[in-house]
Structure 1
Amino acid sequence: MTEMERSWADLTYEALVEVMKRVDFEQLYVGLPLVCKAWRVASLDPGCWERVHMEPSFRIRSETDAWWQPAFEAKVDYMLKLAVDRSAGSLLELSTRHCSNSALSYLASRCPSARLVSVSSSRGVTDLSICQLAKSCPQLEHLDVSECQNVTVTSLEQVGQNCKSLTVLKRNRFIGNYNPSRKSQLPSEYSRTSSPANADAEAQVICTLMTNLKHLELRHTKLSDQGLFSLLDGCTNLECLDITGCLNLTRRAKEEARARLPNEKLRDDKTPAQRNVNVDRYGHWQLYNERFQSGFFQF
């Protein structure tokens, strides 16, 4: 037995919990509990489940048709509800995709202190659960409802009225990788997104009820010049506004927005793309990664 193995075996319960707070969701869910009894007990501590980030598990895998099926949505819901139960109501952050109203309402009813909720690409999420989230979690600071086609201005109004601490809102219509400047490459779903009138209505709610926003993403929406100017007038605390792929905006409107948001606060089609670099901060978990992570979504 090496010195490193002895040091891990000698860790106290409290130390194990602190370590497990820093690993990713996959490792906590399907890897570490299988190592030994002590690790399983520590992995069930509510403190390990305050921040549940499933989103990286989706990003490192290729998009599959199965992700949009009801059966897969039910699996994601099961994992999220289990995470809520294990947090004993202390969950603060959740990021995932492809969940439904059932899981989000479950979180809202049991975790009133939630600060960050990201449910992008969740067609099963509607105004019903977002309104419940807004009313049950008034301390919400970060909300991502990108590619949630069944979320409308109705729930955004509830969020604006109830969540006065909100500083980050992501309402992107698409999060896939393609060139937004070439209309021929836009997916067919673009024609089915909200009309310019609906996009401007959402902008009006945002600039009226969410004046504390610092980060706003509206990529690939049908925002018009008028809607953009309303945002600039109402959201004066913005540190980042992303309007990449908003094809209804004129060059003049974008130039004025860039002038009113200096220091590279505006992101549009001319903004250089930023590469996402995955850095494994916990190299000592490599053996467990190889053994447990390959079939995470195939349970």
Structure 2
Amino acid sequence: MEDSTSIGRRWEEMNYDILAKIFQSFDILELTSGIAHVCRTWRLAACDPLLWKSKTLDLSMLKSHFIYLTDQPYVYVHSQSDKTLTKVLKIALNLSRGNIQTIIFHFNLFVSSNHLTYVAERCPRLKRLVMPAWNRIKRTEIRSAIRMWEDLESLTMPSMANSAFLMHEISRNC
């Protein structure tokens, strides 16, 4: 039986500013864990630009399940690894609304050309990027991504044969 004299508030009635302040203490995985699906107010607070400007999308804990191959692309990546990465990227980059400025990939996270393109389109203000292994990314996609990141200030990348084309794109666009 419900007590009619008790005064209580519902989760969805929490003040937006208070929610945004609470969410500022969350890391990326906590922000992308589903809090935006609680209700409309929580989603708005989870998309607050101040929440994402100072955030780094740190994916260094994600690694691909893979097998090395002798032929190009020299690696086979299990489809579940791609699905997990796609899911995390979609949630984080949609919530951030283009405000993420730093992305860190684990070296053994074999990102595809589609993943890189998705990141480039949704992170136009990217300033710092720590790249993963390049095996599955086409040169044309790397060039296209670099062209979108005019504010790029720092790029950490694994060793890459014939990387002169990359240096040329960086010098022209960043």
What is the deviation of 1:31? 5.5
Letter in 1 for 2:31: L
Cα displacement string for residues 163-219 of structure 1 (whole angstroms, at most 9, x for unaligned residues): 2xxxxxxxxxxxxxxxxxxxxxxxxxxxxxxxxxxxxxxxxxxxxxxxxxxxxxxxx
Aligned pair partner of 2:127 in 105, 111, 115: 115
Q: Normalising by the residue count of structure 2, what TM-score does the alignment of the two structures yield?
A: 0.65
Aligned pair partner of 1:82 in 72, 75, 91: 91
Q: Helix, strand or coil: the match of 2:155? A: strand
Partners of 1:115 and 1:142 within 8 A in 2? yes
Change (3 A) 1:64 1:127: closer
What is the deviation of 1:40? 4.5
Q: Which has the higher contact order (CA 8 A, sep 6+)?
A: 2
Task: Find the counterpart in structure 2 of residue 57 from structure 1.
Answer: 61
Structure 2, unaligned stretches of length 5 or more? Answer: 1-7, 68-75
What is the alpha-carbon distance in structure 2 between the residues aligned to residue 90 and residue 153 of structure 1?
Answer: 30
Aligned pair partner of 1:133 in 132, 145, 157: 145
Task: Find the counterpart in structure 2 of residue 14 from structure 1.
Answer: 17
What is the deviation of 1:115? 0.9
Aligned pair partner of 1:28 in 27, 31, 38: 31
1:1-299 matched pairs, under 5 angstroms: 12-30=15-33, 32-33=35-36, 36-37=38-39, 38-50=41-53, 51-58=55-62, 65-66=65-66, 69-71=77-79, 72-96=81-105, 97-146=109-158, 152-163=163-174
Partners of 2:57 and 2:100 within 8 A in 1? no
Identity of aligned residues (%): 19
Change (3 A) 1:151 1:45: farther
Larger Rg: 1
Q: Helix, strand or coil: the match of 1:120? A: coil
Change (3 A) 1:119 1:133: same
What is the alpha-carbon distance in structure 2 between the residues aligned to residue 54 and residue 78 of structure 1?
Answer: 14
What is the alpha-carbon distance in structure 1 between the residues aligned to residue 137 and residue 25 of structure 2?
Answer: 28
Partners of 2:64 and 2:77 within 8 A in 1? no
What is the alpha-carbon distance in structure 2 between the residues aligned to residue 65 and residue 108 of structure 1?
Answer: 24
Cα displacement string for residues 241-275 of structure 1 (whole angstroms, at most 9, x for unaligned residues): xxxxxxxxxxxxxxxxxxxxxxxxxxxxxxxxxxx
What is the alpha-carbon distance in structure 2 between the residues aligned to residue 64 and residue 106 of structure 1?
Answer: 18
Give the 4+ runs in structure 1 shifted more than 6 A. Answer: none
Q: Helix, strand or coil: the match of 2:32? A: helix
What is the alpha-carbon distance in structure 2 between the residues aligned to residue 125 and residue 22 of structure 1?
Answer: 34
Q: Normalising by the residue count of structure 1, what TM-score does the alignment of the two structures yield?
A: 0.41
What is the deviation of 1:111? 3.0
Alignment coverage as a number of residue pairs = 150
What is the alpha-carbon distance in structure 1 between the residues aligned to residue 44 and residue 162 of structure 2?
Answer: 39
What is the alpha-carbon distance in structure 1 between the residues aligned to residue 64 and residue 100 of structure 2?
Answer: 29
What is the deviation of 1:84? 2.4
What is the alpha-carbon distance in structure 2 between the residues aligned to residue 151 and residue 73 of structure 1?
Answer: 27
Change (3 A) 1:22 1:140: farther
What is the deviation of 1:150? 7.7
RMSD value, Cα: 3.3
Letter in 2 for 1:128: T
